[in-house]
Structures are given as C-alpha cells and as structure tokens.
C-alpha cells in the first residue's frame, strides 16, 4: 500500500495534538494517510505503554487512517543515528509517502526536536540507492518523500504555512481524547502532568484559533518547511 501522507511522531498523541486536523482533512479528500509513532511513550507520567498503544489504535480509527505503526524506539533515549534512521527508512520505502509531517524543529520536550531531525535525516537516507534494506526478505527500492513539513507543538514557532482544519475540528478533538490516560480526568488517581491539567485543551484550541486567524478561518494548524514552497497557480493560495 502506498501512502500520500505519513506523519512521523516521537510519541503517541504528538500527531493528534499537532496535525490531526490536517490528516483528517486529507483523508476526507480521498488521500491515503498514516502515522508512524517512534516510541510507546513509556517515560510519560501517566498511563502505560500497552494502554497508549490501544489508545493510538482508537485514535487511528477516529481519523480513518490507512496505517499506524510503532517502531518501539526507547522513549527519551532514542538517537538521531544510523540505526534509527535506517529503521524509519524501511517504513518510508514500504509505504512510499509523497509528504512527511514531522515533529517540531524545537520544542519543550527534547524528543520533539530530536524526532523532527531524525525524521528529516531518515527521509534523506531513504533516498540513497546504495543503502540496502529489506522487507520480508526482499530488497527495497530507494524512496525519498517530496516534501517534509514540521508541525508546531507546545512552543510557539511562526508558521511558514497554515492548513484550514475548521471542518475537521471535532474529529481532531475526538482523536486527542482517545488518549484518555493522558488528558484531564477528574476520576484519575495518577499524578498530574503538563498535559493533564484541565486548561491544556483550552490551550490547544487557542493555538488552533490563532493559526486559523492568520489565514482568516476559524481553526488552523501551522507548519514550518525545509525548503521554499512553490505554486503554479496563485489562486491555490487562500
């Protein structure tokens, strides 16, 4: 199966919080979309790795994804090195996405900037013909996505482009709330975390409204680019 868009995320729920509206809007247009989680988020304050995998599966159903996989890298301690780049390259060569959405270039959680750098480097090495990888015992062909866009996470980064997600806001929120272990639950006995505070989802809405305001729509999701974005028709711009 070939994907049109693959979101690569350091932790389960990174993509939901930052670019799920974009994913949902492109699924609605008929594109094949997937998420590759790098870790199981096992170092998180709340929940368990097993629970977060189940929650990720529920979110994938809500977003109607064509695939979702988890590479099981070590949370916090994974590295941007050959081993990890090649592991991602195998997935890129399997699904051959045209577009990759990656973690923010820098953020409050060090894994986010590191994950963004790792995804970018993996996209490059995946296109090297002399890098040999296999899938089910068969050699894979080189593949390099055409575009890499970095979604914006906790820390504010001025976007290079904003996607209108107004029609898919409810789907975004539902996909986030699929991770019940991570967000506010008055009945939870687990310790409070940065994202489990009652006002955290208010911040997510405020950020989406702020991004939407930049392009004169209700809700948006912002991205930074690695190279200049070109258009062939000025009327493609909102």
* Residue 92: predicted pLDDT: 98
Of 50, 49, 56, residue with least CA distance to 34: 56
Q: How many of the other CB atoms lie within 10 Å of CB of 184?
A: 16
* Residue 184: predicted pLDDT: 87
HSE-CB for 29 with a 13 A CA cutoff: 13
* Per-block mean pLDDT, blocks of 10 residues, the chain (238 long): 98 98 98 98 94 97 98 98 98 98 98 98 98 96 98 98 98 96 88 92 97 98 95 88
* Residue 53: predicted pLDDT: 97
- Segments of 43-131 assigned E as strands: 67-73, 99-102
Dist. CA 200–CA 108, nearest whole Å: 14
pTM: 0.96
Q: Which residues of 45-82 are buried (b: 16+ CB within 10 A; e: fewer)?
A: ebbebebbbbbbeebbebbebbbbebbebebbebebee
């Amino acid at each position: 199966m070939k994907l049109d868009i693959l979101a690569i995320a350091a932790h389960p729920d990174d993509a939901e919080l930052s670019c799920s509206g974009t994913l949902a809007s492109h699924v609605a247009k008929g594109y094949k979309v997937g998420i590759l989680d790098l870790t199981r988020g096992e170092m998180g304050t709340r929940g368990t790795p097993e629970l977060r995998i189940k929650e990720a599966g529920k979110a994938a159903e809500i977003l109607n994804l064509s695939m979702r996989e988890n590479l099981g890298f070590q949370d916090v301690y994974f590295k941007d090195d050959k081993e990890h780049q090649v592991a991602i390259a195998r997935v890129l060569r399997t699904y051959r996405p045209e577009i990759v959405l990656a973690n923010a270039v820098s953020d409050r959680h060090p894994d986010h900037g590191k994950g963004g750098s790792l995804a970018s480097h993996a996209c490059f090495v995946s296109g090297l013909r002399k890098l040999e990888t296999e899938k089910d015992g068969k050699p894979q062909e080189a593949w390099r996505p055409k575009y890499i866009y970095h979604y914006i996470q906790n820390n504010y980064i001025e976007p290079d482009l904003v996607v209108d997600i107004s029609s898919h806001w409810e789907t975004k929120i539902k996909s986030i709330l699929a991770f019940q272990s991570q967000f506010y639950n008055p009945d939870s006995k687990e310790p409070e975390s940065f994202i489990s505070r009652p006002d955290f989802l208010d911040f997510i809405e405020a950020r989406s409204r702020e991004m939407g305001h930049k392009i004169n729509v209700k809700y948006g999701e912002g991205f930074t680019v690695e190279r200049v974005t070109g258009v062939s028709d000025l009327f493609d711009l909102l």
